[in-house]
Amino acid sequence: MSGVFIAFEGGDGAGKSTQVEYLAAHLAARGVERVVTRQPGGTTLGAKLRRLVLDPASGDVDHRAEALMYAADKAQHVHETIRPALARGAVVISDRYVDSMLAYQGAGRDLSLDDVRRLAWWAVGGLRPDLTVLLDADPAEAVEKLAVKDRLEAAGAGLHRRAREHFLALAAERPGEYLVLPARDDRHDIARRVAARVDEIVAARGCRSDVQG
């Protein structure tokens, strides 16, 4: 029996973590075994890699080196957390997955999107989510607010816009595997739509219940 793999994607502050919690609570109430995790940093090795990337002592981290570290994080995460949980029949909920790497590296223009795609999908052994929930929001709002406080963030407005376009383009490539929702809709409304879709997939798959009987 195999589990169900759900990924949440979207820009910074889109509400991913909020919706991950709602979905986890929904599954818990239904007695479905679930594993909540995140990329990057969902494993001990991954957390160390993330600290390395962010540590100023690492100096000017080359974009290829950075991409390889993110890829290593993904490989370990799939090996250590996601695949074993799916093999047990659990529902795995990941806060960000491959699409985030593609959207941001692609938006950054430092590396070719084709290279990043090959690298990221190789790292995860081609494991695709059964469903990716894309919380789509216009980054202009958030960035406008930040621009007042932080000129550096304001300079990144183009990056966030391009990342959004990448997310949407990825969803358009495989519409059957995505649920694209406006991130600023009412959060309970979003949670209900996500739960309805996940319930269908779980019912079809017959996921393991943690209510022993």
The partner in contact with residue 102, picked from ligand ATP, Mg ion, none with C-beta cut-offs of 5 to 8 angstroms by kind, is none
Contacts for 47 with CB less than 8 Å, ≥ 6 apart? 41
For tokens 């494991």, name the residue: 127
Q: Which stretch binds ligand ATP (CB under 6 A): 6-14, 76-84, 101-109, 144-152?
A: 6-14
Give the one residue of 63, 88, 184, 197 binding ligand ATP; rule: CB under 6 A.
184
CB contact at 8 A, 7 and 96 = yes
Find the binder of ligand ATP among 5, 6, 15, 198 (CB under 6 A).
15
For position 106 contacting ligand ATP by CB under 6 A, the verdict is no
Nearer to ligand ATP (CB atom), residue 13 or residue 89: 13
Using CB under 5 A, which of 2, 17, 117, 180 touches Mg ion?
17
Q: Does 12 bind ligand ATP (CB under 6 A)?
A: yes
User: 17 vs 209, which CB is nearer to Mg ion?
Assistant: 17
User: Considering CB distances under 5 to 8 angstroms, the limit depending on partner class, which of ligand ATP, Mg ion, none binds residue 129?
Assistant: none
Nearest approach in angstroms of CB 162 to ligand ATP is 17
> Contact residues for ligand ATP (CB under 6 A)?
10, 12-18, 184-185, 187, 190
User: By the criterion CB under 5 A, which residues form the site for Mg ion?
Assistant: 16-17
